Amino acid sequence: MKAYVLNEAGAVESLVLKEIEKPEIKADEVLIETKAISINPVDVKVRLVDEVLTMIMGTEDRPVILGWDIAGTVADVGEEVSGFKIGDKVFGMVNFPGQGKAYAEYVASPADHIAIMPEKVSFEEAAATTLAALTALQVLQPRVKRGDRILIHAGSGGVGHFAIQMAKGLGAHVIATSSAKNRDFVMSLGADEHIDYREQKFEEVLSNIDFVLDGMGGEVLENSLKVVKDGGKIVSLPTHEFPEDLQLEADRRKVELEFVLVQSNGKDMNTLKGMLEVDELKPHVSKIFPFENMADAHVQIESGRTVGKVIVKL
């Protein structure tokens, strides 16, 4: 089978398409013939920085195969697997954090990391509704309740566009930031208010926020603490070590400051499946690249201007 291997962290040219052996499955795994792959900002960070590559993949061994988000058809099932059969259409985030090895024509996945695809969605839409959607679900579900005023940064991005929809489903009042050109898209997802981050300083116009989802870090995170109310919550996706002064101020005001790293979870995938089936969740796929053009998909994500999701199609 064909797969992209990474011998060392670096530029997009480090991703090399080559012929390798098809993976063998364990008793609790299924073999999936890949039809679509979702590309995320974490894919780019892992490819670029060796320390991040080692941390997320859980190994210093090289070469590695990147990728975690897939949709495809079941080609084989392990002897202990009962929930799937050959021919099933499935989707999921495989072994994250860890070695998902999704940039390949065939992927071996634990059966409890995937779900059956809803009939109404395409492989591309299913692949899109994986890491980013799971992140939004795992962050919001335990922390947001009806009536909360919540702020979602980068509302037009992968995690953001899912988070807006989920937060509305939880009964929250949603304020989202994006550029002016993406305002209509963000509002169409259900946001109650929009802030153009280039023209407005959110920290000057907002206050009394119950929860902030920060996908940016840095100054955005620091300013988010200014708008969240005492006893509120902030989850930062890119920041796993908070500056001491920021943590002290959060502690003083009893604000929960958390880093959350998404985890593969088949039960959560089935929750997403249910949301897709009743149109509570609609993935937005803005770009689709052929498998041979994986580098172009990475360049698109690296631009930082992707609306919704980028998909690679096999």
Task: Please enumerate, as own/partner, the contacts of 218-221 that have beta carbons within 8 Å and a separation of 24 or more.
Answer: 220/153, 221/246
Confidence of residue 116 (pLDDT cuts 50, 70, 90): very high
Taking residues 41-69, report their average pLDDT. Answer: 96
pLDDT, tens digit, for every residue of 149-167?
A: 999 999 999 999 999 999 9
The set of residues, in sequence order, having a beta carbon less than 8 Å from that of 119 and lying 6+ positions away, is none
Looking at residue 22, what is its pLDDT?
97
| The listed CATH number (3.30.1490.20, 3.40.50.720, 3.30.70.1400, 3.40.190.10) that belongs to domain 133-259 | 3.40.50.720
38 pLDDT tier (thresholds 50, 70, 90): very high
Q: Among positive and negative, which fits the CA dihedral 17, 18, 19, 21?
A: negative
Find out whether 284 and 309 touch, Cβ atoms under 8 Å: yes
pLDDT confidence bin for 83, thresholds 50/70/90: very high
Q: How far is 26 from 275, CA to CA, in rounded Å?
A: 30
pLDDT of residue 102: 98
The pLDDT value given to residue 300: 97
Class of domain 2-129+283-313: alpha beta
Across the chain, mean pLDDT equals 97
Of the pLDDT bands very low, low, confident and very high (cuts 50, 70, 90), residue 105 is very high
pLDDT at 194: 98
Per-residue model confidence as pLDDT tens digits over 208-259: 999 999 999 999 999 999 999 999 999 999 998 999 999 999 999 999 999 9
Give the mean pLDDT of 5-34.
97
Contact present, 64 and 47 (Cβ < 8 Å): no
The pTM score is 0.97
Sketch the domain layout of the chain as residue ranges: 2-129+283-313, 133-259
Q: Look up tokens 């998404």; give the residue.
A: 262
**pLDDT tier at 52 (50, 70, 90 boundaries)?**
very high
